[in-house]
A and B are shown apart, each in its own frame.
Chain A
Amino acid sequence: MEVRTEREDDVLVTTVNGRIDSATVSEFQHLMERAITDDIRRVIVDFGNLSYINSAGLRAVLVITKNLWTRNAKLALHSLQPSIQEVFSIAGFDKIIQVCADKAEALDATQEK
C-alpha cells in the first residue's frame, strides 16, 4: 500500500495504490491524517489503483471523512474500481461520502458553494 500526496493551495490531492486491509489500514490512516493539516479545506482521493479494501479500511475512510466534516472541510473519492464501488454502496457509504467518476468531478464536488 502506498499513499502519495500533493498540495495544491488548500486542496490535498492523494493517490492510494495497492490494498487497504487489516495489515495496512493503520498506515493508511496515519499517512492520510499526517497529510491533512489544519489548513486543508478539500481532500481528493484517487482510488483508481486501489485493488482491495475490507471493512477495516472502510472504517478508516469513515473516520477520516468525519474528522474533516467536524471542521467543515470536504472529501471526495474518485475512479473506484467496480467491485470497490459496489462495496461502498453495500455499506451505504455512497450516501455520506462523495464518490466521483474522475478527479475533475471530485474537485467540482468539493468546491465551496
Chain B
Amino acid sequence: MTASTTLVISTTIEELQKVETAVDEVSAAEGWLPDIEFKIRLVLDELCTNVVNYAHSDNLDHDMTVVIESDDSEVRVRIVDDGDPFNPLEDAPKPDTDSALADRRVGGLGIHFVKTLVDEARYWRDDNKNYVALSKRRN
C-alpha cells in the first residue's frame, strides 16, 4: 500500500497538532509498527518545532509545508519553510551526550535525534526556501 498526505500549516506551535493528526492517519492507513510511528512523530516534531521557533527573524505570518509518504518499504518525510537559510543537519549546535550531570548541556538534542533515527537525511535550498527530506526503512 501507499499513503501520502500534504499539509500546509502556519508556523505556530498550535498548528503542530495537525502534523500529529497526520502521523496518526498515515500510521493507521499503512499499519506502521509503534516504534516507527514514535520515531517519525519525534523527528517531525523536532524539525517542525525548530521551524516554528527559529526559522523566521521577522514577526510576520508564514506557512510551512509538511509531506508524509509511506509505502510497504519506507517512510519519507519532507519539510519546506520560507525562513532564513538554515541547514539543521549541519548548522545546529552539536549535542553534548557525554558530560557529567553537573556540566551537561541540552542544546542540539532534537536534531541529533533526527540524524540518528532516520536512514537518510538531506537538506537543500531552492527558491528562497529550506527543504529537509528524510527517509526511514520500515523493517
Contacts and interface: CB of A to CB of B under 8 A. Distances in A.
- The majority secondary structure among interface residues of chain B is helix
B1 interface: no
Interface in A58-111: 58-59, 62, 65-66, 69, 82-84, 87, 90-92, 95-97
Contacts of A54: 42, 45-46, 49, 110
A90 B113 contact: yes
Interface in B96-139: 96-98, 100-102, 104, 106, 109-110, 112-113, 116-117
Contacts, number: 60
Interface residues of A, number: 23
- The majority secondary structure among interface residues of chain A is helix
Interface of B: 13, 16, 34-35, 38-39, 41-42, 45-46, 49, 95-98, 100-102, 104, 106, 109-110, 112-113, 116-117
